[in-house]
Amino acid sequence: MKNIPIMTPFFTKEEIEQIQEVLQSGWVAQGPKVAEFEKAIADYEKVQYAVATTSCTTALHLLLVCMGLCDKHEVIVPSFTFVATANAVEYTGATPVLAEVYTDTYNINVEWVQELIDNNYDNKDGILINKKNGKILFGIIAVNLFGLCADIPKLNDLANHHGIKIIEDSACALGASINGVHEGGFGNPSCLSFHPRKSITTGEGGMILTDDAELAASLRQMRSHGASISEVNRHSSKGYLLPEFNELGFNYRMTDIQAAVGVAQIRKYDYILTERQNKAKFYDSLIKDRISYLKPPHVPQGYLHTYQSYVCMIDYKALGLNDVEKGNEIRNKLMNALEEIGVATRQGTHAVHSLGYYREKYGYKPFDLAGAYECDRMSLTLPLYVQMTNDDQIYVIETIDRIIKNI
């Protein structure tokens, strides 16, 4: 029996050295190491400013607050995403309007969104107003899911036409790009995650990317209780005096201990990314040769996929089934059998509109967003990490095929 986890972080002695440096410095809260990590990420993603936070969820919340989102607004959010995307909107008092996704890229369906806007909003003096409830459409959160960018150029065109904002939830997508332009480089603010399942990790942690100096300054102030000056600046001059607090802010600060791990991780990210991409290609070839009912991740031309997760779709019709719920039973039996023999898998993520809170509050039914629901029920994430061997990958694919045939 093998033990193949869904993901394991790639650490070397550099992380220990960086942490030791911070501990010996005596400055372990947010400080110079966080600033170093922020600059490293900003340089990597080719943006002007990066603002570290405690998680991608708090990054999204902080960003939306600083952009002015409130209870008079609505924000379009793809349904097939981790619940945190929609939750961040809820935290502000605004309403998330859940949207359909493509079943090949798993990202937001631009044509569906355009139809939603055309059918449900009136343009009054350049502002989109919901015909039923009078709320203002603030913008769209484009989730760059699993390491693949959504169609940001088309979404930007749509947003510019309607006078709304685009925010990129790039929790999974550090380094993802379209025709060489990195996520966060299309003129929209973007949020990253450094959770342990991401390609690089700080344990927990997030980052907001922007080219807007005023927004970056607001984010830095609001992540630290709304303090008028940073802790580093305060301690460099009359540190015994507390700063002024003119805004109701948050404690969303990353520690220098976490940032130390991040600094070591980003330095080896090119290697991590190359390894993940090579292993993804190997999975692609194995699936093509051996499993006709499994659809590997689709990558449009010009897109760079970073494979934070290697997410497939089980083609239930290829298994002779004509119902997604029957297909889901097979998917779940497969995942259970794999778990029992030590191979970890996951569904890709969930369809938010099918989750209890959103079901009950907004009255969604599963097939209201049939594509997102199918992704929820039929997606399958395979193990993928730097230390994984080709033999491990062959074992995973052969075991999947054997189990499916037995089922």
> Do 136 and 258 lie in a common domain?
yes
**Is the predicted pLDDT of residue 31 greater than 90, yes or no?**
yes
pTM: 0.96
**Number of neighbours of residue 382 by Cβ within 10 angstroms:** 28
- Position 7 in a domain: no
Looking at residue 98, the DSSP 8-state letter turns out to be: E
The residue from 210, 236, 267 where one domain ends is 267
Residue 318 lies in a domain: yes
Q: 249 with 274, same domain?
A: no
Task: Return left, alpha or beta for 386; rule: phi > 0 is left, psi -120 to 50 is alpha, else beta.
Answer: alpha
pLDDT at 243: 76
Same domain? For 65 and 87 the reply is: yes
Q: How far apart are CA 188 and CA 195, in angstroms?
A: 22
Same domain, 130 and 196: yes
Q: What is the pLDDT of residues 194-230, one digit of tens each?
A: 999 999 999 999 999 999 999 999 999 999 999 977 6
Determine, yes or no, domain membership for 47. yes
Task: Identify the pLDDT of residue 231.
Answer: 65
Domain containing 105 equals 13-267
Of 243, 267, 291, the residue that ends a domain is 267
Are 291 and 151 in the same domain?
no
Distance, in Å, from the CA atom of 180 to the CA atom of 285, rounded to the nearest integer, reads: 25
CATH code (residue 328): 3.90.1150.10
How many structural domains comprise the chain? 2
Task: Mark whether 144 and 243 lie in a shared domain.
Answer: yes
Q: Is there a domain that residue 2 lies in?
A: no
- Nearest by Cα to 107 from 303, 359, 394, 399: 303
Report CA-CA distances (Å) from 216 to 54, 223, 258: 16, 11, 21
Assigned domain for 6 exists: no
Using one digit for the tens of pLDDT, what is the confidence trace for 322-357? 999 999 999 999 999 999 999 999 999 999 999 999
- Residue partners of 359: CB distance under 8 A and separation at least 6: 353, 365
CA–CA separation, 29 and 62 (whole Å): 19
DSSP-derived pairing of the beta strands 165-170 and 136-143: parallel
Q: Residue 329 domain-assigned? A: yes
Whether residues 135 and 112 share a domain: the answer is yes
Regarding whether 29 and 60 lie in a shared domain, the answer is yes
Cα-flanking dihedrals φ and ψ of residue 261, to 5°? -65, -40
Residues 206 and 67 in one domain: yes
Is the pLDDT confidence value at 234 over 60?
no
> Looking at 67-119, which runs of residues are DSSP E strands?
73-78, 95-99
Please indicate, yes or no, whether residues 248 and 263 belong to a single structural domain of this protein.
Answer: yes
| Residue entry with tokens 């798993």 | 106
Whether 312 and 212 share a structural domain: no
353 and 401 both lie in a single domain: yes
Residue 250 lies in a domain: yes
CATH of the domain at 121: 3.40.640.10
pLDDT in tens, 122-166: 999 999 999 999 999 999 999 999 999 999 999 999 999 999 999
Q: Are 146 and 304 in contact (CB under 8 A)?
A: no
Domain end marker among 252, 267, 282: 267
In a domain, 4, yes or no: no
Mean pLDDT taken over the chain: 96
Give the separation between CA 161 and CA 184, rounded to whole angstroms.
Answer: 20
* pLDDT > 70: percent of the chain: 97
